[in-house]
Structure 1
């Protein structure tokens, strides 16, 4: 159309870097980070990140270079979320629970120019670097030392974090992205179905998802966020950048225990925290020891590996002052995509709502502000399945907040985006009110005589048994039906029950086809993010069936 001009006046590439620049100006004296006795203001955090970016530039880190980090939820890792992209580089926060060989494989793929390491993980990182091919040289190692004196055993190419920051210049010119679609970070998937993949995020997707978190969570003014979700997990669901946008306060902790969570709420007036469902169990175990009522309602968003605790425990937490929201998402979508109040999860309950507000809250689990499309489709025809709560299809997304692709894996990226939608590989159904209910991973469903059974639904029932700590169900080969359910159970400490008791419990609560036909007791194989590796269990069954 005549008269349109696109220039620097009306088009600036979106980047969450701008959130920190604004925070320093608008919220300069407000507390940005609290970690033990340490406190920083937004002005101080901005200055530290500028100096960090400057120091990285002095090390030779330039546009597009990768900077890795192995650290818990501490202020230094928070600063890296801004300082690294301010230098034009790409941040890759790595899982702190990786073993030496897995960490070495990731570092070899990344070819990072520098790696920031918290003192807790120095030994495993050094061992991983020893396994790397030395043809391209190892990255600079920057130690996040804290109060610990452990410099004696650091390799020659070493630096100290605080020393590095002190060398930076405040007049450093931030390296903004040439395009908002330039990469800003890489985070690895959990690898629940096999080999973890490096997911590449753009400045644009992280900017939009960070803003989306404000609306998705109904974030209040001056939020106080407790860091219980790992920053290496989808960049902490984008909350490092969201908190800067809101000028809120970050409460950093090394370990999220029930006591730590409750103490932080009372001490710092925490308003929101997130993470896997096990957080709820940790809090519930602590309540008898610390029965104080919360000073105000606290929002909790849970998503990821592990089952929700029993309804009575969730009710107890709600009565105590927690607003529990259950979410569903994945690394490729920067974390949670859909969410709903936990007590709205029942299909029967959803059909009996009297208030329009309740219906809106549940439908939020189907489509939020940032997602352009959330649907359940036939993966072959790409037609939407019927909204009857019965027809099963693949859950698919379309959004500006999705990943750019998988690092060094073009073919896998093309397959994932085939048909113009992101294919989650999760199966689900769509209810008449638009609510999407996830049934199971596509690779984990059990095809029993042509009927698709959800392993997750069977596991939820088994988890209600008072002696069961965790259960995993997979399909066992069967000559007549193709597959039949088989359960692997880890009992609570100190308990011992015969398999007949578990099978009888299932008989009382499940229809015939969904009842496991055999039970094996013992520890379940889990990966570094706490997800059960069902492919390992299937391999075990194949061995038993030979």
Structure 2
């Protein structure tokens, strides 16, 4: 008989993991400490906690129940940060939405996620108006009044007046099950319509704790929000900074000089961003001859930094950590942990080491490279290609209302990333190619199939293929290869680009169009590898 089995879970020795408890703790430990700075507004941890409890109670009084979706369309702001706590305090699921999306995509997300409430910054009132006009069931519209826009009557109420309907002393309950959903994030993936990635409370808690460890955060951390909070819930740093009692500094939009002033004014110690943000900073600060008065840790997602970027960053005062992850893995799932001996290497060799995607974060069990045919681990020889596969606690629940895609993503007991990589002898992973035709531009995913679908709507387009083209500012941008219908009139590339921009967000439209016959395999499939190679010649 196993006597250990007789010991049971009780309220004294077990509770569901949730990042909500992290805010509760910091409010007790650091009640008067600056929790969030947003322009001229400063909230202490005590105030932040009370406001979140109050808004959570207000939502419940409005009939928001467990499992309901509450969406928010906002740049980085104290309201966006509060929603990461207040919405799940009501038992609901927070859906943070990309502010760069067009009305049609916004309408799809609100409808697919069945949003009961939409908090929105008034700067985006026009796109919200167009989006909700197409919905059969409209969410309760709550405006977040900002200097960038004024509400003209679309919203039923504003954020602060809704807040006043709640009780600041209201209690909240942990989720019944830590596997309950906490957030919904949409990613474009490889299909036209975005997929709804569902996170759970357990994963959010562990991602927060993992990220604070990975980034070596402490109560002295001052974190600058250059990374959008709408992107993977800010890579879970919305919860991670709170976990250590650090200070959130909100930045509405990324302007290099605004970033520099915020770093110097507030003593910023940590920040995250896509390569485009780093490039903007290096170019502008380098042009102005500015350096940081103290080192700032910069976690860089997306493409690996070349040696020239590393050199410039270190000269200005940024210390780079390279992260790898996906929306499906709560953001960061691997990082390139620097080894002490790397510092003695010449910069070029050190850059090669740092460019690898690295090893798993603490919240995961494994990050492996598996053979794409038999799902067995490939040799750790730095040569044999396979697919990066992941398993562990900081992996999504699945795709909302999409059991087929969920089953495919989790086949053989692993989450399949679609990224092709090698495993080095030191067990550091390095991506070599993308199996999915997703273009990562400025940290945002662009589905090549979505762009191709729009191209095929043009009356003169016979065939189209879209691939990633290197871009100094954005990392990657879409490039369209187009074959015109026979005997069609001549058309300029700019006309194709304009056509696409009228039907989709500008950042998704091709930046370059190349006309000509498209290379194909014997079975008629377009050979995108040849098209990609032609761009590098």
TM-score, normalization: structure 1?
A: 0.78
Instruction: Please name the residue that 2:310 is paired with.
Output: 314
Q: Find the counterpart in structure 1 of residue 134 from structure 2.
A: 131
Match of 1:430 among 419, 423, 448: 423
CA contact (8 A) 1:277 1:302 kept: yes
Q: Which one of the candidate residues 384, 387, 403 is aligned to 2:377? A: 384
Structure 2: distance between partners of 1:388 and 1:538: 41
Contact 1:112/1:139 (CA < 8 Å) preserved in 2? yes
Q: Look up the SS of the partner of 2:25 in the other structure.
A: helix
Partners of 2:338 and 2:311 in 1: CA distance: 10
Aligned: 1:197 with 2:195? yes
5 Å-filtered alignment, 1:495-510, equals none
What are the superposed Cα offsets for residues 223-257 of structure 1, whole Å, 9 maximum, x if unpaired?
A: 10100111111100011111111111100011011
Partner residue in 2 for 1:397? 390
Q: Is the 8 A contact 1:489 1:523 kept in 2?
A: no
Q: For residue 463 of structure 1, what is the aligned residue in structure 2?
A: none
What is the CA distance between 1:46 and its match in structure 2? 0.4
* Match of residue 108 from structure 2: 105
Q: Per the alignment, do residues 12 and 345 of structure 1 end up closer, same or farther by CA in structure 2, a change over 3 Å counting?
A: same
- Shift of residue 381, structure 1, vs aligned partner: 1.4
1:225–1:270: 8 Å Cα contact kept in structure 2? yes
The 3-state SS of whatever aligns with 1:282 is helix
Q: State the alpha-carbon separation in 1 of the partners of residues 135 and 505 from structure 2.
A: 21
Match among 14, 22, 26 for residue 23 of structure 1: 26
CA contact (8 A) 2:421 2:432 kept: yes
Corresponding position of 1:513: none
Partner secondary structure for residue 360 of structure 2: coil
Q: What's the counterpart of residue 506 of structure 1?
A: none
- The alpha-carbon distance between structure 1 residues 404 and 31, as it changes in their structure 2 partners (threshold 3 A), is same
Tell me the distance in 1 between the aligned counterparts of 2:57 and 2:514: 49
1:177 to 167, 175, 179: 175
Closer/same/farther in 2, CA of residues 281 and 149 from structure 1, 3 Å limit: closer
SS of residue matched to 1:153: coil
Indicate the SS of the match to 1:274: strand
Match of 2:283 among 282, 285, 290: 285
CA contact (8 A) 2:212 2:243 kept: no
In structure 1, what is the Cα distance between the partners aligned to 2:182 and 2:216? 26
CA drift at 1:325: 1.4
Distance 1:528 1:414, change over 3 A: farther
Please state whether the residue corresponding to 2:160 is helix, strand or coil: helix
Q: Is the 8 A contact 1:297 1:322 kept in 2?
A: yes
Segment of structure 1 superposing worse, 376-385 or 62-71: 376-385
Of 90, 95, 98, the match for 1:92: 95
Query: Please, what is the CA RMSD of the aligned residues?
Result: 3.7
SS at match of 1:259: helix
Q: Secondary structure at the match of 1:285?
A: helix
Alignment partners' CA distance in 2, 1:316 and 1:76: 35
Q: After superposition, where does 1:405-444 map in structure 2 within 5 Å?
A: 405-444=398-437
Instruction: Report how far residue 338 of structure 1 moved.
Output: 1.4
- Structure 1 unpaired stretches of 5+: 446-454, 460-471, 473-483, 493-519
Question: Against the structure 1 CA distance between its residues 280 and 46, is the aligned structure 2 distance closer, same or farther, given a 3 Å change threshold?
Answer: same
1:150-198, CA deviations, whole angstroms, 9 ceiling, x for partnerless residues?
343315xx11101111121123220320000000000111435543211
SS for the counterpart of 2:390 is: strand
SS in 1 for 2:127: helix
Tell me the distance in 1 between the aligned counterparts of 2:517 and 2:103: 25
Cα offset, 1:149, TM superposition: 7.5
Determine the structure 1 residue equivalent to 2:124. 121
Q: Work out whether residues 225 and 248 of structure 1, in 8 Å CA contact, stay in contact via their aligned partners in 2.
A: yes
8 Å CA contact 1:338, 1:368 repeated in 2: yes
Change (3 A) 1:429 1:149: closer
What is the CA-CA distance between 1:280 and the residue it aligns to?
A: 1.1
CA distance in 1, matches of 2:100, 2:379: 42
Distance 1:148 1:23 in 2: 32
**How many Å separate the matches in 2 of 1:403 and 1:485?**
29
- Contact preservation (8 Å) 1:363, 1:433: no
Counterpart for residue 498 of structure 1:
none
**Aligned partners of 1:244, 1:531: CA distance in 2, in Å?**
34
Structure 1 residues 368, 529: closer, same or farther in 2, change over 3 A? farther
Alignment of 1:200-215 (within 5 A): 200-215=198-213
Would the aligned equivalents of 2:199 and 2:397 in 1 still touch at CA under 8 Å? yes
The change in CA–CA distance for 1:537 and 1:247 in structure 2 (over 3 A counts) is farther
Q: Aligned pair 1:37/2:40, yes or no?
A: yes
Per the TM alignment, residue 532 of structure 1 is displaced from its structure 2 partner at its CA by 8.4
Give the length in aligned residue pairs: 471
- Say if 2:246 is the partner of 1:248: yes
Q: 1:62 to 1:542 in 2, by over 3 A?
A: farther
Conserved in 1, the CA contact under 8 Å of 2:50 and 2:169? no
Match of 2:293 among 287, 295, 303: 295
Is contact 2:322–2:355 with CA below 8 Å preserved after alignment? no
Counterpart for residue 150 of structure 1: 150
Counterpart Cα distance in 1 of 2:269 and 2:49: 23
Q: CA deviation at 1:444?
A: 4.5
- In structure 2, list runs of 5 or more residues that go unmatched: 442-447, 449-464, 474-492, 528-537
What is the CA-CA distance between 1:349 and the residue it aligns to? 7.7
Deviations 1:116-164 (A, max 9, x none): 000111110111000112xxx3110000013578343315xx1110111
- Partner Cα distance (2:22, 2:29) in 1: 10
Change (3 A) 1:362 1:149: closer
Checking the alignment, whether the CA contact within 8 Å between 1:48 and 1:79 is kept in structure 2 is yes
Query: 1:274 and 1:34 mapped to 2: Cα distance?
Result: 17
Map 1:71-82 → 2, pairs under 5 A = 71-82=74-85
1:337 is matched with 333
